[in-house]
Amino acid sequence: MRLWQRAVLAVFLYGSLALVHAGEVNVAVAANLSAPMQKIAQAFTQDTGHTALLAFGATGKFYAQIKHGAPFQVLLAADDETPAKLVAEGLGQAGSAFTYATGRLALWSKQVGVVDDQGRVLLGPLSQQPHIKLALADPRLAPYGAAALQTLTQLGVWPRWQSHVVQGENIAQTYQFVATENALLGFVAWSQVWVDGRVSQGSAWVVPQHLHEPLRQDALLLTKGKDQAAALALMAYLKGERAKAILRAHGYEV
């Protein structure tokens, strides 16, 4: 066999071996992470051969699904409390959780000039705008919704806005309320509106972090993933520079 033929055969055998060992991991992903996680999943497959099967939704809803036996192997939460609860309840691997990103909350309008860079739009009178709507995610299920409620409370404006709220099940649905202009304003994840170093459209205010609890987002290896190579590989991959670079590009702190 000629040298070049041996080289081709070696590459083929190596590739075949990689495919044999490649696996799939079922991942429950907080809705705010939709865009960057899709990119991370593509890079993960390119670099490891494994495939990440992604489901997006509210962290609180995933918690309930995992408790009822959902086949997830990794949870990428929008908080650090849910992973801790799952570990305490025996559904997550102790010592596996880590903060993969810290998110930022933003007040956003699709219309230019509606939201100022200090968020003063929240302080103005509503008597002449009875039909104005403010979107936020369900605070009981979505950490970004809880942060929005904390912000409104800290600013002392929750009583005036309460009757104007339209509530999304998760941050992705909340974003859609504003994007379709069913709500003039909405509290969304900064990562949803920060694209290529600028606000993608409309106007936005990044909420100061002292107005709400930190949005530390933890990854957790669930019990069903403890012996799965693809799940272990994804947990390690999220700590790597390629994943971190994608998260930074979408406005997260890592």
Residues sharing a CB contact under 8 Å with residue 6, sequence separation 6 or more, in sequence order = none
Residue 119's alpha-carbon distances to 43, 159, 187, in angstroms, are 37, 17, 11
Which class is 3-102+215-249 in CATH?
alpha beta
pLDDT digits (tens, 9 = 90+) for 89-138: 999 999 999 999 999 999 999 999 999 999 999 998 775 577 899 999 99
In DSSP terms, 30 is beta-bridged to 57
How confident is residue 2, by pLDDT bands cut at 50, 70 and 90?
low
Percent above pLDDT 70 for the chain: 90
Residue 68 burial (10 A CB sphere; 0-12, 13-18, 19+): exposed
Output the pTM of the full model: 0.83
Residue 132's alpha-carbon distances to 2, 165, 178, 196, 225, in angstroms, are 75, 9, 12, 30, 46
Instruction: Give me the pLDDT at residue 184, please.
Output: 95
Instruction: Give me the pLDDT at residue 21, please.
Output: 64
pLDDT of residue 9 exceeding 70, the answer is no
What CATH number is given for 105-206 in this structure? 3.40.190.10
Give the C-alpha separation, 110 to 253, whole Å: 24
Domains 3-102+215-249 and 105-206 alike in fold: yes
pLDDT digits (tens, 9 = 90+) for 46-102: 999 999 999 999 999 999 999 999 999 999 999 999 999 999 999 999 999 999 999
Q: What are phi and psi of 31, to 5 degrees?
A: -60, -30
185, 98 Cβ separation under 8 angstroms: no
Give the C-alpha separation, 109 to 154, whole Å: 21
pLDDT digits (tens, 9 = 90+) for 164-220: 999 999 999 999 999 999 999 999 999 999 877 788 899 999 999 999 999 999 999
Q: Tell me which residue of 103, 101, 102, 65 sits closest to 222, measured CA to CA.
A: 65
Domain ranges across the chain: 3-102+215-249, 105-206
Give the C-alpha separation, 144 to 205, whole Å: 15
Give the C-alpha separation, 151 to 145, whole Å: 10
